Amino acid sequence: MKLMKFSEFSGERWAELQLYFDTGILPVTGLTGSESPDEAEAALTRLRDLLDLVEMPFKGRTVTYPALHYAAEGAQTIERVASGLKAGGFRHVIIVSLNRSYQADLPSVDLWIVPEPDGSLPAARAVSEAVQAMWRNRREEPDRSAE
């Protein structure tokens, strides 16, 4: 099964498959606009690597949306988009972000996948366990961190 991107669903196809794709993934680059072209490219490459930790193992259950590259309002912008994804039918929303400072307890975000405090990528196993725990968790306030 291949990775599913938002652009691969027509209205009819989404209505048919929505039951199987219960998790929306929102990549957040966290660019400021002051990056040089090579810095922007490096950030996009790091985001891709971080995104691979959740996209690859869970293809067939997740849909990846276009990356939010500039989020001047930080958590407010992320919450607005995540809330829209939930209103659109996703039961779970995962934020994959390079910017740890955006990480907040937001009502519409079920899980944050962010780099470690030292900037390294989290272990694939830790990400996998966090995603699976999110899916198993039926409590009102799920664990929201893959740290």
Q: What is the pLDDT of residue 144?
A: 46
- Is residue 70 in some structural domain? yes
Question: Domain containing 97: what range?
Answer: 6-136
> DSSP characters for 8-39?
G--HHHHHHHTTT--EEEEEEEEE-S---HHH
- Is residue 141 in some structural domain? no
Q: What is the pLDDT of residue 137?
A: 85
Q: What is the 3-state secondary structure (H, E, C) of 39-84?
A: HHHHHHHHHHHHHHHHHCCCECCEEECCCEEECCCCHHHHHHHHHH
CB 62 within 8 A of CB 25: yes
Q: What is the pLDDT of residue 89?
A: 87
Cα 22 from Cα 67, distance rounded (Å): 19
Q: What is the pLDDT of residues 39-58, one digit of tens each?
A: 999 999 999 999 999 999 99
Q: What is the pLDDT of residue 82?
A: 96
pLDDT confidence bin for 140, thresholds 50/70/90:
very low
Greatest alpha-carbon pair distance for the chain in Å reads 44
8: amino acid identity, one letter: E
- What is the number of domains present in the chain? 1
Q: What is the pLDDT of residues 50-98, one digit of tens each?
A: 999 999 999 888 999 999 998 878 899 999 999 999 998 899 999 999 9
- Is residue 143 in some structural domain? no
- Is residue 15 in some structural domain? yes
What number of residues does the chain have?
A: 147
The mean pLDDT value for 99-106 works out to: 90
- Is residue 17 in some structural domain? yes
